[in-house]
Chains A and B, each alone.
Chain A
């Protein structure tokens, strides 16, 4: 299925200003290809749900257009879009039972009952709720209601399924389980999923592609690996996973200075002596003897988190370093930190995604990656 790279949804210069003057979305441009799993990731108020509501048709953009299969659907009624939504609170109809909820869309389309029945059965099978057709909604657990909401949407065979913070009401264990299941359902149906979440782990584990949003703008988009390994700026680096962010200076291509030392790095294409920020992920830092380390720090606190230790340490400039290590260390003793040039990621200030991509292109072609 992955070969089908057809553009199914496109937002062009979409802007949304609310009555009170609040700018929810500021010039959003995005393209969604069919058959992929997308996440819109951002903190609350970043505009991710507004994008979803505009795609679903519940909300009209103040400016800009929305295209579906190449056609302008900006003003099209939600009832006429081949898009269905799984709502944050599920929005199941309380006066209808499971079967009637799932059959709702088909009944509205005046499909005869003998055709509806097998389709509902199949949808309930997909979400593993066989035999629940006659249950009342109030008898179901949160996880089961979630599944009914998914079944109610997919039974209409939409081309795109929108999921609005759909897992946030579930407990942690159930949420993990549903993440796998959602991905499995998406792969089985081969339709596009657009998933809104504020949980970076959720976005990283499920998506083919992530849009990171902040203040009504797309900060960065790319695959989970791209975004984790090459965050474009301070916001993305902080929002996606834990990170050590330090001010630094680009000496020349492939050489950067921070914490009063010069290091080999894998970044290039910047002006000499440009002020930059560097990111090193805590799990990329290895603990070694002080004399073998590239940096010497003093461990201040240590937490055992089951699969790793979380160590906070200070270097001689009082910069705080977060280290994830499978081995513990002695507190208040000097330890060495070792990292590879590839583990240092350099971020320019105010670099747009296009410039960022172009710069990466310019020097990464020469290297192996």
Chain B
């Protein structure tokens, strides 16, 4: 019994190590003063300095962040409305169909989505630039938001809505004072999921970008093709830390422990 427990734990560590070793290997060499990852020379922040001086890269980084924020925000609004609409569908069959259509987009490969957007935009004569990337990012983020918000809507106690109406609230007041607060954790999770999806998307962006507009993942890919530069390691480290912070924020919002912490925060703000 005990042996089995130890084995299970070892297995878990093994898997985690395999998953994280490449990333840490990459991070490790981002601090090495050398030209390649063959041998760690000595500690330096030189690659991070070059990164800071690389105006093109900084512009692309800002592009990526702005794109992620904008697309996730718009997708959250559309997705939340969509989830509310789906939750209001009375017929079960109808509801299932809508959900299935939503989930198909979730599971279909990015390459296919990217390629189909490329065909779509070209056919409509829409230029490939920031706009086309934004549109496609919104499109693949909406189903995620729907999926995060819908369970909250299903869990919501509908007598709360009756109670608000009973106390004199009109439709808008019911929506803003009762419904939104009740599903807010779902909306926030959806927003952060959409944010991370947009930040690390490569395949879709690769297809629909053009006219000099680029995101970090596409830029790293094109640079890596010309030979590994340790500046890319530094950049990857920055992205990794950035995403890690986002995940921690998401954890903070979505879990019970996070709830407690939020309560403390609210007290502090008061």
Contact = CB atoms under 8 A, between A and B. Distances in A.
Contact of A91 (B160, B168, B170, B177): B160
A166 interface: no
B159 A84 contact: no
A334 to B, nearest CB: 57
A93 B165 CA distance: 13
Nearest to B173: A108
Nearest to A136: B263
A152 B167 contact: yes
B135 interface: no
Given A93-B178, A95-B182, A87 B170 contact: no
Interface in B138-190: 157, 159-160, 162-170, 173, 177-178, 181-182, 184
A85 B170 CA distance: 16
A105 B168 CA distance: 6
A306 interface: no
Nearest to B165: A78
Interface residue SS majority, chain B = helix
Nearest to A105: B167
A58 B165 contact: yes
A56 B167 contact: no
A17 B170 CA distance: 27
A91 B166 CA distance: 11
Interface residues of B, number: 19
Contacts of B166: 56, 58, 78-79, 83-85, 153
Given A78-B166, A105-B168, 14 more contacts: A57-B165, A58-B165, A58-B166, A83-B166, A84-B166, A85-B163, A87-B159, A87-B162, A91-B159, A95-B184, A108-B173, A109-B168, A152-B167, A156-B167
Contacts of B170: 79
Interface residues of A, number: 27
A89 B181 contact: no
A104 interface: yes
A122 interface: no
A342 interface: no
Contacts of B173: 108
Nearest to B185: A95
A94 interface: yes
Interface string A127-163: 0000000001000000000000000110010000000
B160 A84 contact: no
B93 to A, nearest CB: 16
A89 B162 contact: no
Contacts of A104: 164, 167, 169, 177
Contacts of A84: 166-167
28 contacts: A78-B162, A78-B165, A78-B166, A79-B165, A79-B168, A79-B170, A83-B166, A84-B166, A85-B162, A85-B163, A85-B166, A87-B159, A87-B163, A91-B163, A93-B160, A93-B164, A93-B177, A95-B181, A95-B182, A96-B181, A104-B167, A104-B169, A104-B177, A108-B164, A108-B167, A108-B169, A109-B168, A136-B263
